[in-house]
A = this chain, B = another copy of it.
């Protein structure tokens, strides 16, 4: 397995002094320091966006940065697992090498990782029944396999794993949706994120942060949906 390293400041400067300046003065010193979203949360958002896009080049650096700012190995382990379902197995597999390299470097062993089959968080059975009924009515005949796994693997298993709290699982999900241009799914997941405790100010700041990591157009396409969600919640 290869584990590419991020370009250094000197590497960046060798191709673009301007990009080096934007990186240090604007992205690192300004955006990352903005109030409204904790640095730890910015790490979750960034790692999720990079894994979602299979951008392995700077994953290792961002994983190290996440560990330095309070994201635990257990949480990183859950994020990769979560994104296997939300951005595809290939992107999760591509993240294994960088994450394994950092875990080895820092002596993170299996005892620090969530077990394969932990005791799950309690299920909100009424909300889940409503969700399952809506999806079954809409897609039950078209794709019974998708409906079955959505219930069994996603909402009755993955989302109930305790290694990543629901609010952070939502943060991971909406970052991945923005990163992959899946704007239509943002309505459901941003509402869920806010139900799970993400404030409006934090949500707004997530998209400000993401503008730099997934590019302006992807965020500009997502913001009308964010606006609708904010308006509907009052």
Instruction: Please report A residues at the B interface, Cβ cutoff 8 Å.
Output: 1-2, 4-7, 11-23, 26-27, 31, 34, 36, 49-50, 53-55, 57-58, 76-78, 80-81, 83-97, 99-100, 103-104, 110, 113-117, 138-139, 141-146, 149-150, 153-154, 161, 163, 176-177, 179-182, 184-185, 204-205, 207-208, 211-221, 223, 226-227, 230
Contact = CB atoms under 8 A, between A and B. Distances in A.
Most buried by B among A4, A145, A219, A223: A145
Given A16-B78, A20-B116, A216 B86 contact: yes
Contacts of A141: 230
Given A220-B185, A223-B139, A110 B14 contact: yes
Given A15-B80, A86-B216, A143 B223 contact: yes
A110 B153 contact: no
A77 B217 contact: no
5 interchain residue pairs of minimum CB distance: A145-B208, A55-B90, A182-B217, A21-B116, A7-B96
**Copies of the chain in the assembly:** 3
11 contacts: A14-B110, A15-B80, A16-B78, A16-B113, A17-B113, A17-B116, A22-B81, A83-B215, A142-B230, A180-B218, A181-B181
A183 B184 CA distance: 12
A96 B6 CA distance: 9
A187 to B, nearest CB: 12
A50 to B, nearest CB: 5
Nearest to A161: B18
Given A2-B2, A7-B96, A114-B18, A217 B91 contact: no
A168 to B, nearest CB: 16
Given A21-B117, A89-B212, A93-B57, A146 B11 contact: no
Contacts of A14: 100, 103-104, 110
